[in-house]
Structure 1
Amino acid sequence: MKILGKSSSINVRKVLWTCVEVGADFEHIEYGSGTNGDVNTPDFLHHNPNAMVPVLIDQGQSLWESNSICRYLAMKYQRQDLLPVEPMPRAQVEKWMDWQLGDVNNAWRYAFLSKVRQSPSHQDPQLCAQSAQSWNQFMLILERQLACTEAYVNGSQFTLADIVLGLALNRWRSTPIDRPQTPALDRYFDLLMQRPGYVRYGANGIA
């Protein structure tokens, strides 16, 4: 099994962390960063026509979209603790995964590109402030959830939702914006730091 993607990518890192959690035997190939693999070549576009990482290649087939790859890995290694098979418990995990992908990601984009990536086209102070405010509001939703569970996103059991949101939490903590006090998120971060996969691929000094 191969994972194509650059080590700095938040979406690649969530897949790599999932590989650690399930005990997968995999090869990580740096792709999409500088000279390490061109995502616009016919060969790569055969694997992902969107020209984006990560891509998983397994059993002669390609899979793209990071959250889908994480789901595949949990199912392949029969990790029902990470992704339940029963409809409601599974949906409870997947709703947080979809929320991360659709809502949280859209909130942080402008502020992150401005403050961390230093993108010249993302330097409007008002738009940056609006992005940071929206980002904080979503993270406060997670704060309230964790204050209720007093452990992981869905309760006492670590799931795929914690992998995708653990990466989002690290990005939020690493971006130089004004943030509210979040004791539940602080406890959650410390809890995640007990997992070797998060130390290696989540909170590893990269936003």
Structure 2
Amino acid sequence: MLKILGKSTSINVRKVLWTCIELNLPCELEAWGSGFQDTSAPDFLALNPNAMVPVMLDGEFSLWESNTICRYLAAQAGHTTLLPAQPRERAGVEQWMDWQIAELNPSWRYAFLSLVRGSPAHQDSALLKAGVAGWHRHMAILETQLQSTGAFVTGSTFTLADVVLGLSTHRWFMCPMERPSLPGVEAYYLRLSERPGFQQHGRNGIP
């Protein structure tokens, strides 16, 4: 059986677990990370030298980086709705997946660590204000895209872009801060909430 090394509270692990549900793909979660098995252990570092979760084990094949794991699983399953086969359509999905990991995620790091994790190293009021503003600015980009498509990130069809951005959207709504009104994002959040995978690994009370 497919094995995922990580913990169910990790936003990146939850991407993979949600993808498995969308694919009707059984998997086993083996607990690694803070509070569980130590990712700096030699056996884990041999699988991922970054000492980060998740790691996927598919037989003898191992893979790290959550968005890459999601793409691999969809491609391996031949699921051309989650990950289109045609180059242009696939590039559109991957573009928004890459934006999530490269642009959106860094924008919320300071605010999340300050307001949710209570990190003592992230309590500078000016940096927090800038972090919140940057996070809202990036969510406004998503708002514009959703207003254009009227449904999901790349169009009328749910894709892997919605898995990764859906979890980021959930984190935005869960963070204890004032938020601007983004009706497209709000409708998107409700739309995602109809999906069993999002109910289990997204809108489940964990930011």
Instruction: Give the shorter-chain TM-score range.
Output: over 0.9
Once the two structures are superposed, residues 143-162 of structure 1 have per-residue CA deviations (whole angstroms, 9 ceiling, x without a partner) of 11111111101111100000
Number of equivalences: 206
CA RMSD in angstroms comes to: 0.7
Aligned partner of 1:44: which letter? F
Question: Please, which moves more after superposition, 173-182 or 112-121?
Answer: 173-182
Is 1:60 paired with 2:60?
A: yes
After superposition, residues 185-200 of structure 1 pair within 5 angstroms as 185-200=185-200
> Which residue does the alignment assign to 2:69?
69
In structure 2, the residue corresponding to 1:47 is in which secondary structure? coil
Aligned partner of 1:136: which letter? H
**Residues in 2 aligned to 1:187 and 1:147: alpha-carbon distance in whole angstroms:** 10
**Residues in 1 aligned to 2:175 and 2:114: alpha-carbon distance in whole angstroms:** 10
> Which residue does the alignment assign to 1:104?
104
Where structure 2 has 5 or more consecutive residues not aligned to the other structure, the ranges are none
Once the two structures are superposed, residues 91-140 of structure 1 have per-residue CA deviations (whole angstroms, 9 ceiling, x without a partner) of 00000000000000110000000000000000001101101101101101
**Residues in 2 aligned to 1:37 and 1:62: alpha-carbon distance in whole angstroms:** 18
> Which residue does the alignment assign to 1:94?
94
> Which residue does the alignment assign to 1:19?
20
TM-score by length of 2: 0.98
> Which residue does the alignment assign to 2:78?
78
Q: CA deviation at 1:86?
A: 1.1
> Which residue does the alignment assign to 2:7?
6
Q: CA deviation at 1:80?
A: 0.5
Aligned partner of 2:87: which letter? P
After superposition, residues 174-193 of structure 1 pair within 5 angstroms as 174-193=174-193
> Which residue does the alignment assign to 1:164?
164
Question: Please, which moves more after superposition, 114-123 or 21-30?
Answer: 21-30
Q: CA deviation at 1:77?
A: 0.8
TM-score by length of 1: 0.98
Aligned partner of 2:29: which letter? H
Is 1:148 paired with 2:148?
A: yes
Where structure 1 has 5 or more consecutive residues not aligned to the other structure, the ranges are none
Aligned partner of 1:73: which letter? L
Once the two structures are superposed, residues 53-106 of structure 1 have per-residue CA deviations (whole angstroms, 9 ceiling, x without a partner) of 000000212100000000001001111101111111000000000000000011
After superposition, residues 21-40 of structure 1 pair within 5 angstroms as 21-34=22-35, 36-40=36-40
Return structure 1 stretches of 4+ with deviation > 6 angstroms.
none
**Residues in 2 aligned to 1:120 and 1:6: alpha-carbon distance in whole angstroms:** 24
In structure 2, the residue corresponding to 1:4 is in which secondary structure? strand
In structure 1, the residue corresponding to 2:57 is in which secondary structure? strand
**Residues in 1 aligned to 2:40 and 2:144: alpha-carbon distance in whole angstroms:** 42
Aligned partner of 2:165: which letter? L
Aligned partner of 1:183: which letter? P
